[in-house]
Structure 1
Amino acid sequence: MATSTSPDTGPRRRLRAPARRALVVEGGLRVFARTGYTAASMADIADASGVTRAVVYDHFASKKDLYVAVLVEQGALFLGHLESRIVSEGSPRERMRSTMDAVLAFAEDHPMAWRLLNVNTTHGDAVAEAAWQQAWAERSAQVVDLLTPDVERLGLTSDDVHLDLVVQMLMGALTQSVHWWSGRTRISREAVLDAGMALMWDGLGQLGRP
């Protein structure tokens, strides 16, 4: 394998292509999360990745291609986080709470991914906008799949509640809550969860009633 030499460290092994790609994706995440899509440049991403622009273009033909790749990978990270944190047993109420807790925990643990997926929603490019909307729709569909059995256990049907709409309301409320909660360290995640459950779960229980 080819090596390079540093005056400080001596011979240094060159990174393999997957490792270089991972650096570029991580740099892209940092830049897209910080500036949004429109203001990001491939030069900025190369600097954030610690590689040259030539290396960035070795892996991604355009900023759009890189953005879509980052979006897909971070969306998969979010869904994997959700699925691993939601309790498999317990009442529908407990599962709803664990779902909300998982979303809030993701925002805490992965702030750059959260900004990319939920905050930087203005792109100035039709392809980037379409990719973001598709990613949002796919995540929403996954959350709907997670919550459908619990709603059905409450005796509600599609005639009583449109789960897609409920998920949009839930994610919208949580996104705004995360924005408001940021920096307010005196307010615990438990307090945010309690407020969310009072708003969303108790309200959901009223659907379908005369």
Structure 2
Amino acid sequence: MTAVGNGTQTAGRPTRLPRSARRRQLLAAAQEVFVAQGYHAAAMDDIAERAGVSKPVLYQHFPGKMELYLALLDTHCDMLVATVQEAMRGTLDNKERVSASVRAYFDFVDHESESFRLVFESDLRNDPAVRQRVERVEQGCIAAITDTIISDTGVSRAHAELLASGLVGAAETAAQFWLARGRQVPKGEAEALVAALSWRGIASFPLQGESA
């Protein structure tokens, strides 16, 4: 089995990677093993072998399989939340914000399909620590959209959160369905369809100072 990454050996001797680089290498190997085998079937031996390191090296960075799995979830959850936050900050055009939010989810499942399955289709969804992280990414995305809706429309936080949760739910569910059905609709068309559906609802709330 080949090792993840390059430069793990030089002239037959292990190369000492910087700690941050080694951590990224181990996380990449763990993701491949977890996605291929599922959490319960995966073993630390498999991950160490996939990364091309010894088990002691792996345990230097992660004390156990669960800690390694949670570190992967944190990385991908933070990435998705940051993408949605950037979608809110990237333009003042609310229609484009809706499109960018939907696009964030489709990009995530398209380019990071392994990451998406790790976060949203985990066989550990009922574990409290895993469930907390999945809820955190959903709440982080909702919060980013909620703040923008409040700032632009002046509606109450309760109303804004409900609208934001609807947008996030539609984007997440549609993107997951699109991936599961083998990307039958071209990605750009799929994004446009979901964005148009969401925008027709959001657009009924005018900007502050404008009449409905």
Where on the TM-score scale, by shorter chain, does this alignment land: which range?
Answer: 0.7 to 0.9
Partner of 1:202: 200
Q: Which runs of 5+ in 2 are unaligned?
A: 1-8, 206-212
Structure 1 stretches of at least 4 aligned residues deviating more than 4 Å after TM superposition: 204-207
**Pairwise CA RMSD of aligned residues?**
2.9
Q: Which amino acid aligns with 1:22?
A: R
Aligned to 2:4: none
Q: TM-score, normalised by structure 1?
A: 0.76
Shift of 1:67: 0.8
Q: Is the 8 A contact 1:118 1:175 kept in 2?
A: no
Answering whether residue 138 of structure 2 is matched by residue 140 of structure 1, we say: yes
Matches within 5 A, 1:17-56: 17-56=19-58
* Partner SS state of residue 89, structure 1: coil
Counterpart in the other structure of 2:124: 123
Q: Distance in 1 between matches of 2:159 and 2:87?
A: 30
Q: Quote the residue 2:17 is aligned against.
A: 15
**Structure 1 residues 63-91: Cα deviation after superposition (integer angstroms, max 9, x where no partner):** 11111111112222222333345553232
* Aligned with residue 78 of structure 1, among 77, 80, 97: 80
Conservation of the 8 A alpha-carbon contact between 1:4 and 1:14: no
2:175 is the alignment partner of 1:169: no
Q: Structure 1: give runs of 5+ residues left out of the alignment.
A: none
Seq. identity, %: 22
Who is 2:68 aligned against?
66
8 Å CA contact 1:86–1:102 kept in 2: the answer is: no
- What number of residue pairs does the alignment pair up? 195
Secondary structure in structure 2 of the residue aligned to 1:37: coil
* 1:156-187 C-alpha deviation (Å, 9 max, x unpaired): 43258624642552344234333245343xx3
In 2, the alpha carbon distance for the partners of 1:131 and 1:57 equals 20
